Amino acid sequence: MGRSIIEAKILHTSTGLQLPIKRYSTSKSKQTLEFAGLHGYNDKSNTLKELLQSLKGQIQEKSLTRLDIAIDFKEKIPTRVIKHIKKVRPKQFSWYNSTYFKTEKEKKKNYHINILLYDKGIKENLNDDISRLEFSFGGSYFRGKYKIKDLPLLYEKMEKAIKRFTGLDIKIERL
């Protein structure tokens, strides 16, 4: 069952950013503020990082509901990485321009970890050919017990999960 949005608003900042605020049917008393594109390929991502840094002291006790980690590759993702992912997630599901890697039992949504790949160059209208491998760590991954202040602990945990899925030793860029 999906999470239905029952209310949506746009927060307009003095720097020109527009951030979505959503209220879902599963948590009617909480609102979700979405910071999407922190490490993008445009000026908006720098402004978004500055806003997040300025709010850091005020949001330390807020809960995490989802965190997406992306690895960008010039041209295409190495075959050895795809083979490594397919060992754990052998089923592929395509939706628009994205390919999701699923387990045999998994349906469309995984509330723990979703793995997908897509062409970031096409999505962002870039001149470069950039393939993106994205790990979407969902609410059940955090089990409701992690706050913004716990991000340093989570980075290590997520880096280990990404290594397990891909075989790549990566370091997540800290905020």
Unique residue bearing structure tokens 């979505």: 20
Q: Cβ-count burial of 171 within 10 angstroms (0-12 exposed, 13-18 middle, 19+ buried)?
A: exposed
- 94 DSSP β-pair partners: 99
Domain boundaries, given as residue ranges, for the chain: 62-166
Query: For 74, what's the count of Cα atoms within 13 Å in the CB-facing half-sphere?
Result: 0
Distance CA 11, CA 143 (A): 27
Write down the pLDDT at residue 1: 39
Name the CA radius of gyration of the chain, rounded: 17
Enter the tokens of residue 139.
């609410």
pLDDT of residue 125: 61
Yes or no: say if 141 and 64 are a contact pair by the CB < 8 Å rule.
Answer: no
Global pTM reads 0.84
- Let me know how many helices (H) and strands (E) the chain has, helices first: 5, 8
Contact 130, 73 (CB under 8 A): yes
Q: Which among 62, 70, 71 is positioned nearest to 151, based on CA atoms?
A: 62
Tell me the mean pLDDT per 10 residues along the chain, length 175: 79 88 84 80 82 89 89 90 94 88 81 89 69 91 86 92 94 85
Calpha distance 36→38 (Å, rounded)? 6
